[in-house]
Amino acid sequence: MSSREISPATLSIAYSLLLLILTIIGFAHPALRSRFHNTFEAIHRFLGWTAIILFTNDHPAPKIPLSKCLQKSTEFWLVVVLTASIALPWLRLRRCSVQAEVLSKHALLLLFDYGMGMNFNACLRFIRISDQPLFEWHAFATIYIPGIKGYTAVVSNAGDWTQKICVRGIPTLGVLRIVPMFRRLVIVATGSGIGPVAPHLLARQTPIKLVWTSPSVRETFGDQFAAPDALVHNTRMHGKPDMIQLAHHSYQEYVAEAVIVTSSPKLTSKLIYGLSSREIPAFAPIFDS
């Protein structure tokens, strides 16, 4: 097709799509994504939806009925599939009641008691929670506590949004799903990173050496997540340790097969690099998972 056959409308839409895609890609850069996370999420969502709306083309043959053209149009069916994929999680959006147990001024335990057939395997997952569904979502690991209906989640520094929340979709698998693949593990967690680890600590199906560091760990989160043989380091009392050396020593002492890290992106990257350079198998969630 020559440039003379391209209508101004099609050309405008093409350039608009290019601009939207470049903006989405730009804000997906790790530096911008971490610094302006809420802006990134809004841009990714709303500009993505706008791009799908604009993803169209001129009717190539005016004498052919539009319905027949759409049946043979690859673009049309692609838009249908994309639209259905986007709509599916929102069709499962629900507003739910939640009970909150204050662990300390820095941590909150949320209890969701609605029936989702929760059990240990189902709770090796993450849920996404929000009080402004169109603008931001927060991912939390689900925790199954034996004898309690539903599931729980640990939230650090909870704000007002925890009082009016929505849950979208179904719990999805997280990186801790790989725990049963190993015979012995060391798990390094900081602060509320204990959330994804808790189901395994409570189930005791896989031997785990927990290395947990945070300011006033027991005062903030209580003793229910700290196993008797866990290495709990209070950074407020003893300062920040050398996490690579701590993880390396625990790995050797426990004769573990691998190390899993649940921490901040900066410390996680440092630990994964430091352990991998020592030929220690190390795993962690991907950025912003």
Q: What is the pLDDT of residues 18-36, one digit of tens each?
A: 999 999 999 888 888 878 8
Most confident of the following: 51-55, 77-81, 88-92, 281-285 = 281-285
What local confidence, expressed as pLDDT, does residue 158 receive?
44
Percentage of residues of the chain with pLDDT beyond 90: 14
Four-residue CA torsion sign, 203, 204, 208, 209:
positive
d(CA 200, CA 17): 45
Q: Do domains 94-174 and 176-283 have the same CATH topology?
A: no
The mean pLDDT of 88-95, rounded to a whole number, is 77
Where does residue 209 rank: exposed (0-12), middle (13-18), buried (19+ CB within 10 A)? buried
d(CA 289, CA 100): 24
pLDDT at 122 over 50: no
How far out from the chain centre does Cα 278 lie? 28
Beta strands at 258-262 and 185-190: parallel, antiparallel or unpaired: parallel
- Kindly list the domain boundaries of the chain, sorted by start residue: 3-91, 94-174, 176-283
Most confident of the following: 107-121, 197-211, 234-248 = 234-248
Closest CA to 25 of 50, 11, 43: 43
What local confidence, expressed as pLDDT, does residue 60 receive?
54
DSSP string, the chain: --GGGS-HHHHHHHHHHHHHHHHHHHHTSHHHHHHTHHHHHHHHHHHHHHHHHH-----S-TTS-HHHHHHT-HHHHHHHHHHHHHHHHHHT-EE---EEEE-SSSEEEEEE-S-S---TTTTSEEEEEESSTTT--EEEE-B--TTSSSEEEEEES--GGGGS-EEEEEEEE-GGGGGGG-SSEEEEEEGGGHHHHHHHHHH--S-EEEEEEETTHHHHH-STT--TT-EEEEHHHH----HHHHHHHHHHHHT-SEEEEES-HHHHHHHHHHHHTTT--EE-PPTT-
The mean pLDDT of 51-57, rounded to a whole number, is 70
Range name among 97-101, 218-222, 239-243 with the lowest pLDDT average: 218-222
The mean pLDDT of 193-221, rounded to a whole number, is 78
Report the topology of domain 94-174: Elongation Factor Tu (Ef-tu); domain 3 (2.40.30)
Where does residue 5 rank: exposed (0-12), middle (13-18), buried (19+ CB within 10 A)? exposed
Percentage of residues of the chain with pLDDT beyond 70: 73
Q: Right CATH number for 176-283 from 2.60.40.1930, 3.40.190.10, 3.40.50.10490, 3.40.50.80? A: 3.40.50.80
The mean pLDDT of 63-69, rounded to a whole number, is 66
What local confidence, expressed as pLDDT, does residue 84 receive?
85
